[in-house]
Chains A and B, each alone.
Chain A
Amino acid sequence: MATTMTDAHAAHAQDHHEPSFLRKYVFSEDHKVIGIQFLFMSLFFLMIGGLLAAIMRWQLAYPTDPSRPLPGAGLFPETMVNAGIILPEFYNSAVTMHGTIMIFFAIMPLLVGVFANYLIPLQIGAPDMAFPKLNMMSFWTAFVAGLIIMAGFFVEGGHSAAGWTQYVPLSADPEWTGVYTGQQLWLIAMTVLGFSSLMGAVNYITTVINMRAPGMTWLRMPLPTWALFITAILILLAIPVLTGALIMLLFDQTIGTTFFTVATGGEPLLWQHMFWFFGHPEVYILILPAMGFVSEIISAGSRKPVFGYNAMVLAIVAIGFIGWIVWGHHMFQSGMNPTLGMSFMVTTMIIAVPSAIKTFNWLGTMWRGDLHFHTPMLHAVAFVAMFVIGGLSGVFVASTPVDIFLHDTYFVVAHIHYVLFGGSLFAIFGAITFWFPKMFGRMMNSSLGKIHFWLTLLFFNLTFFPMHNLGIAGMMRRIYDFTQYEFLTQFQGLQVFISWSAFLLVATQVIFAFNFIYSLFKGAEAPQNPWHANSLEWTAAPSPPPHGNFERTPTVYRGPYEYSHPDAADDYWPQNAPGHAAPASEPAYAE
């Protein structure tokens, strides 16, 4: 008996032993550390993706102009940049890898890897994820995928040059692009990354279903968690289809199968269908979490409940569901039966309904609110505005007759960037600023944040809005040298304008990077609840939360958006405050 006691005691003592540096920060099983690891990794990839875009913009401003050599051309080998001129092979790789890295290694992990990991357990009142070890593996698998995708730049033949959509035969046959090893590394990296996403998704879904604190009913969950939950379901069901397609393509290249080879009966269109069957839910994977963050920030920034919380939840679910039956709208020009194209057009248009519900509800939330335009709020409001522009250009390309004209032009480039940069990335900047004090215990600098916001908004629009015009004028996307077409040479000046706006847009991000790093070490000490928000991560968990999050499991009494409630003592009413007891008042973070 005594021995057992001693053993138990020893085991207990061991549990509370301070974990080693490696266990605490590197191979950590704490969902918050994993989220922050994803944050650093995906911000690195965001930078790489941005630099690739800058290289493309240099070529488009001064196409193969020896008098305007690419700055820093000496850094590149002659197979990429020769005598200051960006070679077409490298340009194709840059286009491909800009898309791939931004979508799969920057925006997707920023939205899901960072915030699903960091927020879900905190917002539902759970001590950690359901499977902490799996969660750790999810990050390190993504890290390995990141190494593989970066390795592609350094192999002979350069990186994949088939576009982020990897259409066959361009991607299947090295004869077309001259890329062999890089192409296979692309496929392998994406397969590995798929496993990472899958592990994450299993974790998020199980955690949300099974580990909510007492009183945290489905309709009391904060909207970021709702959005991330539906996103996780989309990841769970969409990624395996991509994996299947990637494996087929990899087999075609390596062991000589013939899935996509026309000569032996393969079907190139099969790739397009499989890719977009994954690819369209992917689009919503990239926007739903952003919508969740924006709902949270706008409600807190307006000191009003989210207008139509239930409708917001239903809209998330509806978008998540309808997103499965619209993939054909990427393939209107692939020779599909016009009747089928028509039905894809209708389902696509239907998605505008829940999207519009969300937009009107954000406006309804702000309407007559006590608006606090702090940095996260600015980003959230910009999200709504830019998302509306991107959504409206989406209606154009979703219409089959209009798409005949606009397909594969810069109009599509403008559209994707309005939803993915103007939408997702603004929401990400907002969310990072909003939850930074929770993550690191310090505030990000407000003045720098606002300067970064206004310059980004300005240069973003100067960069991408004119692309609508270029597209309508007939400029093709992914084109290396547009001056080979007589009718496009008139836009030389506009191209230079767009490119310099883009360079300034990239340069503006240095402000964000500086603010991020500076605030990490020197930022003002953050109060426990700087935005006077209601959800559990602010009201129940210490800041920054320790391993295990809550001292004791919180009990939830109400929804997350009870701002300015007449019965509450303050203008916010924490989810875990019992009855009418006034929350302990503390000063809000002064703007």
Chain B
Amino acid sequence: MTTQAAALDRGGMDATEVGMGVYNMKLGMWVFLLSEVMFFTSLIGGYIILRGAHPDMFAQPGVVLNVPLTAFNTFLLICSSVTMVLAFAGIERGDQAKLKMWLIATAVIGMAFLGVQVYEYIQLSGHGFVPTVEGYRAEGAPLYGTTFYTMTGFHGFHVLMGVLALWYLVIQAFRGKYTAGSHGAVEITGLYWHFVDLVWIILFTIVYLI
């Protein structure tokens, strides 16, 4: 083999790249969450445009929506992100008890969030604030209900998916499926959960506070 060829060979091997240095599931979840960003951007962007075009059709903060109740709900969801981190930190050290405890805590808090949201929906629709043409006319036009329910509803749906995934993790955790060396599912569910939490903080700000 000539020197040049040897150099070429080395060039070939030196140039080895092994991707991003994260495992496929985690990279896949990052990629998926990018598309979720675009999905929520479409809903939130539509809301911003509609509200910008017709500010009179949207009530001022606190007039229709119950801000203190939702602020409490926001606090709940942020807490669930903390418990999710604790579950992940637990299994990273191989602590099965911590994993189970904090996973259950996260799932329960997620369900509490959904419960509060359902309660809020019932209260609001009882006052005639519904997403349809027959919607709320005293404070803001139907457009208000239309955008409110679509955005918060799809967020709620994402929380529901997250809760289902969390209960699945709990079952698997009780079967001892996760170890200090292998807990990818916990990590990527955590990524998803934090994303859903982050979306809510944005939604809470622009829908309830501004």
Contacts and interface: CB of A to CB of B under 8 A. Distances in A.
A317 interface: no
Interface in B3-21: 5-6, 8-9, 11-13, 15-20
A216 B1 CA distance: 22
Contacts of A237: 34-35, 38
A555 B17 CA distance: 11
Contacts of A259: 46, 50, 143, 146-147, 150
Contact of A267 (B5, B8, B43, B53): B53
A273 B48 CA distance: 13
A257 B31 contact: no
Given A215-B13, A240-B42, A555-B12, A201 B35 contact: yes
B150 A218 contact: no
Contacts of A244: 39, 42-43, 46
Contacts of B166: none
Contact of A206 (B15, B31, B145): B31
A257 B49 CA distance: 16
A558 B5 CA distance: 12
A522 B5 CA distance: 43
B49 A267 contact: yes
B115 interface: no
Interface stretch (A86-94, A248-256, A451-459): A248-256
A580 B1 contact: yes
Nearest to A277: B42
Chain A interface category by residue count = 35 or more
A590 to B, nearest CB: 32
Nearest to B16: A214
Nearest to A238: B38
A245 interface: yes
A258 interface: yes
A198 B35 contact: yes
B50 A580 contact: no
B32 A556 contact: no
Given A201-B35, A265-B50, A265-B143, A210 B12 contact: no
B125 interface: no
B108 interface: no
Nearest to B57: A265
Given A209-B20, A212-B17, A264-B142, A557 B42 contact: no
B205 interface: no
Nearest to B43: A244
A243 interface: yes
Interface stretch (B96-104, B116-124, B127-135, B194-202): B127-135
A218 B17 CA distance: 8
Interface string A121-136: 0000000001100000
A212 B42 contact: no
A333 to B, nearest CB: 20
The 4 closest A-B pairs by CB, nearest first: A244-B42, A210-B19, A557-B12, A256-B132
9 contacts: A210-B23, A211-B19, A215-B12, A240-B39, A243-B39, A257-B131, A266-B143, A267-B53, A274-B42
Interface of B: 1-2, 5-6, 8-9, 11-13, 15-20, 22-24, 27-28, 31-32, 34-36, 38-39, 41-43, 45-46, 49-50, 53-54, 57, 131-135, 141-143, 145-147, 149-150, 154
Interface of A: 130-131, 198, 201-203, 205-206, 209-212, 214-218, 220, 236-241, 243-245, 247-248, 251, 255-259, 261, 264-267, 270, 273-274, 555-558, 578-580
